[in-house]
Structure 1
């Protein structure tokens, strides 16, 4: 298997990482559908060969509509993120927590909207980018680590759902849900890991937590 000819959705892809990932996937022969809420910010993704959709990755309704229009999809990677923190535990404000929650909302919305499409693919992949902060949370980043931990828990639940659906249907497992952890996200470490998602069988890949270099 390879990434060539796969349809891959990058949800909330207007970051530097989203652009680097879209470029690499297109160059590898994939069909990339990149979403964002700003048509202007999506233009750089269109320029590297991605199809672009003005859509809200944190909205189940928006992602469900997109899933219905796209049909067959082989991978979904929500890229909504950001960091706010500092000030110790006392500095973990409700405003900062609320600003971080869209990352979890995107994981929930995209996984639910594309669940059936990923299970129907011969090699479906659902991937999130988390943080090593989950393994060693600090007081000054408690809000951030909590949201990332919740996102990981949800993604692992997606993995269990993929496995259960395959068992119930008496079919081989074809879909995998994966967590990438990074201390500081570097597109140079993310891109090759995404390109390699189809080098491993879903049975070996599902429910894995992989630390990026």
Structure 2
């Protein structure tokens, strides 16, 4: 299967690309930083600003048909109660969490709908279930992303495509543990474990790269 990873340069992006490659898939890594993107183990690499709708449409023309989209663009800002939920933080998060998802799904949904086993997967937050004042901007936008994905699913309801939401509290990598050996990461999801879960969503027989 041809699977596009949006936001492939994060620790989870690296782990997911490796897991998908190991499973025999054709992995298309997308990121906005060419140097970091080149470090991702993938079949193809494309540099693109996913907040730019026109750039994403041009990317879709370059990439062609795909079977899946794994949306990993994100980030976190918060704290400080409701007073700490600044407009700058909202705009920063909205561009990454929602705008990139809107742009990529609008550009690639039709292709995924044509696949015999299409999948669009996003990472959300367990905080959506229990919002807090200090996390209000973040969880409100994660909830918006889930709602948008549900709407994409409605648009593709006549196709085999599936929408997948993975909710996590936080992510942790081996590099995080090494950098902060004193920190308690209990409750965090290991990026390698989540990458394996994401790869497991793509169960059709892989096509030749």
- The corresponding residue for 2:154 is 160
Contact 1:24 1:191 in 2 (8 A): yes
3-state SS of 1:44 partner: coil
Cα drift, residue 179 of structure 1 = 1.1
* Partner of residue 16, structure 1: 11
Unaligned runs of 5+ in 2: 172-189, 205-209
* One of 166, 169, 184 as aligned partner of 1:180: 166
Q: Look up the SS of the partner of 1:34 in the other structure.
A: strand
1-structure distance, mates of 2:38, 2:105: 25
Give the TM-score normalised by structure 1: 0.83
Within 2, Cα distance between the matches of 1:196 and 1:18? 15
CA distance in 2, matches of 1:155, 1:9: 16
Alignment root-mean-square deviation, CA: 1.4
Q: Which residue of 1 aligns with 2:83?
A: 90
Deviation of 1:199 after TM superposition, in Å, equals 4.1
Cα shift at 1:59: 2.1
Give TM-score, length-normalised by structure 2: 0.84
The answer to whether the Cα contact below 8 Å between 1:12 and 1:56 also exists between their aligned partners in 2 is: no
Q: Tell me, yes or no, if structure 1 residue 145 matches structure 2 residue 139.
A: yes
**2:85–2:136 Cα contact (<8 Å) kept:** yes
Supply the distance in 2 between the matched residues of 1:199 and 1:75 (Cα, whole angstroms): 11
Give 2:72's match in structure 1, choosing from 76, 79, 99: 79
Aligned residues: 185
Higher RCO (C-alpha 8 Å, min separation 6): 2
Q: Does 1:189 align with 2:197?
A: no
Runs (4+) off by over 4 Å: none
Q: Which residue number in structure 1 is paired with residue 101 of structure 2?
A: 107
